[in-house]
Amino acid sequence: MRWFLNAASAGVGRSKVENESDRSSRKANDAKRRFDYAKRERDLDKKLTYLAEGLSYLAESVEHASNTTPPLAGIALASSLLAKDLGGALEEQTEDIVEKLK
């Protein structure tokens, strides 16, 4: 039962990480687009507007990237607990096999 709970929490964490990573990538691409618009723009006011929008998208991208840290920590914790649970089970199974061979 503990194994199932650990695996389920890792799955949920993975989903959160993927969602935040996708959002971060989209915002970074939006920022690149705005910076490209600014490079081609001749009107100074529009150029500054595109630069400001690009910086805003870039900040959102960084925020989404930083939102991946807590789920990754949860995945690492679940993974270590899972490994510990499996390690004990494998030791038990090995002892049983050794005793049967005696």
H/E stretch holding 31 reads: helix 2-40
- Residue 54: how many other CB atoms lie within 10 Å: 19
**The pTM is what?**
0.64
Q: How far apart are CA 13 and CA 17, in angstroms?
A: 6
Q: In tens digits, what is the pLDDT along the chain, a chain of 102 residues?
A: 555 655 666 677 778 888 889 999 999 999 999 999 999 999 999 999 999 999 999 999 999 999 888 877 777 776 776 666 665 666 676 777 777 776
Give the pLDDT score at 29: 97
Break the chain into its structural domains and give their ranges: 2-101
Q: How far apart are CA 82 and CA 90, in angstroms?
A: 12
Give the pLDDT score at 31: 97
